[in-house]
Amino acid sequence: MSDRIVFHAIFATFCVFLGACGQTQKNIDSLDVASPDGSLVVRFLLEDGKPRYAVDYKGRAIIDTSRLGFSLQAARALHSGFVLAAADYSSVDEQWTQPWGEVETIRNHYNELRVSLRELGNDGRLMNIVFRVYDDGLGFRYEWPQQAHLKDFVITDEHTEFALAGDFKAWWVPAYEKSRYEYLYSESPVSNLDVVHTPLTLQADDALYLSIHEAALTDFASMTLLRSGDNVLESDLVPWSDGTRVRAEAPHVSPWRTVQVAETPGDLLTSYLILNLNEPNVLGDVSWLRPSKYVGVWWAMHLRIKTWAAGPNHGATSENVKRYIDFAARHGIDAVLVEGWNTGWEKDREIQGKHFDFTRAYPAFDIDAVTRYASERDVRIIGHHETRAVVANYENQLQQALDFYREHGVDTIKTGYVGARVDDTEWHHGQFMVQHYRKVVEEAAERQMMLVVHEPIKDTGIRRTYPNMMSREGARGQEFNAWSRDGGNPPEHTTILPFTRMLAGPFDFTPGIFDLLFEDARPDNRVNTTLAKQLALYVVLYSPLQMAADLPENYEGHPAFRFIVDVPVDWSDTKVLNAEIGDYISIVRKARNGGDWFLGSITDENERTLDLSLSFLDEGTAYRAEIYADAADADWVSNPLAIDISDQQVTSDSVIQLRLAPGGGQAIRFTPLASPAVQ
Ligand code: NOJ
């Protein structure tokens, strides 16, 4: 049977199902594809040759009929005049293993509908739209097959719409702003949005949450969302400096446009749809990857105790870095980040980017001696490449710069792109930079090097394909607490991040500040949490590279540092025990190696008491719970350092009560005891 005949058969079925095909004036083709459990249904429609889609969840519309397609430069648009050439259904149900991550195995279970569209008459150009429908959401992407009449093409606009079925509540950061993604999240109805970044998190009602994002952003512009009508969001691709959006050559594919759907906020967080929509690992054996904890010559710079540039308070001197290496070795911390070691920082901020030399160290930093010193102590060095968004200078040196580090045994690099525009012209999130960031990932992978990227392109799950792409920034991190003129991140910031920025992937937030007030260094700023909440963030904000961000002297001798030493950075399982976006969240994660579980629970500015069942623990096993709790009188404003550290024996039958201070949190390590639980 030809594809065409298959389509007619399916079409006939759905005409009966819809019961309306014969009555309408319009010529409408319609095809449904449902998720494996049937709860989510995507309907593809071809209305008078115009492609559309709509989405239902458990019989309720969540996305009304929405447009699909593109405008092209100097060519007819690809959004109308189509006939359906073929429609193919398929299904996949498989499991795959993450080399590192928040869970070890992921089920990839979906039903697919691939519609092949052909233009009527003219050149008969071809475009496919592929829908994959999972129980936890959907993805669809456009494909432009190799063909005679569409070779090189330039996209000037994408018309993909998300016509929401209501004025849902949204958590969002604005797009096209100077500080990239680094803004506090706003909460408002969709009707208040202008143009925002993804992931965009939405709440329809008490039992329906959505997140719109994209997966596998590979050679395209990133999608922002523009409110283009009542409850309608439209893809607004970040343009090149000439105003066009994407330069492509067929065959080409767009990233997946994704909508995750969940009945609780926690289920959004444990959806792995974005990863499932990325291609499997292309690097083969990745046993060289090292999820790690690190300390670094970093916070002292943000507190202005040390400088990046050479001078009397230079941070990256051999002597100071060796002090961090000694500290790391003493406490079993894997690595030390070294910023401000290479020449160029002495120039004015505006022109540094043109002057950075990525293979020339300041005289005070003996890179041979320091890297040797580190390796003798079994500590790794994390290198640093700040570009100040002068990508031309970085790309000119990229290969030598990576080789230089590799020759010194440095296998992890933090990159940075501080600036409002790249090379004074391009946005950080357009196709130019998507290509650049990818180039660096590939060059690093060739040398078996890991990356943590600041001022990055947003995460769209490419860590599945390139598992050396470990972590990134892409939101307001800890550093804002050191210097932000608005007083830093308010207590609710970290109760929003898990449901917004973190839905994209790991975040190098850099938790673990113990000296929360740093009154001597920067009296006008502080960290707006309790100490126990800083510990809880190691579990709440997932990253395979986690920094112990404070100065070594603030950790030395402090009993709470034990938790940072103990907490893993690689997990076999993750569960959200309770959560309200912007209010609180409790997460437990199981260590990838061994049977320990770790809990992180945090609240916003409000005090809370949460009852937690420990039913996630193995039945019949007794566990030692090491509890790091806000003291009874702790409060982020008036008494942030008060912490109670205690021990308790628990089992899977236990229900414990967490008391979180205003702006507080709690962290617990559960270790199985050798002897069976006393019944
Ligand atoms: C901004 C980054 O987020 C920060 O971590 C880094 O220290 C500075 N840029 C300097 O590169």
Q: Per-residue DSSP letters for 382-402?
A: EEEEE-TT-HHHHHHHHHHHH
Q: Could you report the per-residue pLDDT of 124-137, keeping only the tens digit for each? A: 999 999 999 999 99
pLDDT of 244 > 60? The answer is yes
Radius of gyration of the chain (CA): 26
Rounded to whole angstroms, how far apart are CA atoms 117 and 416? 42
**Which residues contact ligand 1 via a Cβ below 6 A?**
298, 339, 386, 416, 418, 454, 473, 479
Q: Which class is domain 292-559? A: alpha beta
What is the predicted pLDDT for the residue at 121?
A: 82
- For residue 420, the CA-to-ligand 1 centroid distance in Å is 14
Q: Could you report the per-residue pLDDT of 431-448, keeping only the tens digit for each? A: 999 999 999 999 999 999
What is the predicted pLDDT for the residue at 8?
A: 34
What backbone phi and psi angles, to 5 degrees, belong to 456? -90, 180
Q: Could you report the per-residue pLDDT of 175-209, keeping only the tens digit for each? A: 999 999 999 999 999 999 999 999 999 999 999 99
What is the predicted pLDDT for the residue at 11?
A: 39
Where in the chain are the domains? 3-169+206-276, 292-559
Rounded to whole angstroms, how far apart are CA atoms 595 and 574? 13
Nearest ligand 1 atom to the CA of 384 is: 11
The token duo for 332 is 């079993």
Rounded to whole angstroms, how far apart are CA atoms 639 and 662? 10
Nearest ligand 1 atom to the CA of 308 is: 10
Rounded to whole angstroms, how far apart are CA atoms 489 and 476? 8
Q: Could you report the per-residue pLDDT of 532-581, keeping only the tens digit for each? A: 999 999 999 999 999 999 999 999 999 999 999 999 999 999 999 999 99
Q: Would you place residue 26 in the very low, low, confident or very high pLDDT band (cuts 50, 70, 90)?
A: confident
Let me know if 506 is exposed, middle or buried by CB neighbors in 10 A (0-12, 13-18, 19+). Answer: buried
Q: Could you report the per-residue pLDDT of 468-483, keeping only the tens digit for each? A: 999 999 999 999 999 9
Q: Per-residue pLDDT averaged across 589-610, rounded?
A: 98
What is the predicted pLDDT for the residue at 25?
A: 60
Residue 487 in 3-state DSSP?
coil
What is the predicted pLDDT for the residue at 676?
A: 52
Task: Determine the residue of 179, 180, 339, 341 to mutate for testing ligand 1's pocket, defined as the one with the most ligand atoms within 8 A of the Cβ atom.
Answer: 339
pLDDT of 606 > 90? The answer is yes
Nearest ligand 1 atom to the CA of 477 is: 3
Q: How far is residue 93 from each of residues 33, 141, 216, 543, measured CA to CA in Å?
A: 16, 20, 20, 28
pLDDT of 484 > 50? The answer is yes
Of 140, 277, 259, nearest to 202 by C-alpha is 259
What backbone phi and psi angles, to 5 degrees, belong to 328? -60, -45
Provide the whole-model pTM: 0.95
The chain-wide mean pLDDT, for the chain, equals 95
Nearest ligand 1 atom to the CA of 510 is: 5
Q: Per-residue pLDDT averaged across 454-474, rounded?
A: 98
**Residue 251, preceding peptide bond in cis (omega within 30° of 0):** yes
pLDDT of 10 > 80? The answer is no
What is the predicted pLDDT for the residue at 4?
A: 31
Query: Which one from 214, 479, 492, 626 is the annotated catalytic residue?
Result: 479
| Nearest CA, atom 11, ligand 1 | 386
- For residue 231, the CA-to-ligand 1 centroid distance in Å is 37
Rounded to whole angstroms, how far apart are CA atoms 66 and 161? 5
- For residue 479, the CA-to-ligand 1 centroid distance in Å is 8
Task: Determine the residue of 302, 356, 418, 508 to mutate for testing ligand 1's pocket, defined as the one with the most ligand atoms within 8 A of the Cβ atom.
Answer: 418
Q: Which class is domain 3-169+206-276? A: mainly beta
Residues pairing with 35 in the sheet? none
Q: Could you report the per-residue pLDDT of 251-278, keeping only the tens digit for each? A: 999 999 999 999 999 999 999 999 999 9
- For residue 504, the CA-to-ligand 1 centroid distance in Å is 21
What backbone phi and psi angles, to 5 degrees, belong to 366? -90, 95
Rounded to whole angstroms, how far apart are CA atoms 510 and 482? 12
| Nearest CA, atom 10, ligand 1 | 386
The CA-to-CA distance between both ends of the chain, in Å, stands at 64
- For residue 455, the CA-to-ligand 1 centroid distance in Å is 8
What is the predicted pLDDT for the residue at 27?
A: 83
What is the predicted pLDDT for the residue at 675?
A: 60
Catalytic, 376? Answer no
Nearest ligand 1 atom to the CA of 473 is: 3
Residue 223: count of CB within 10 angstroms of its CB: 28
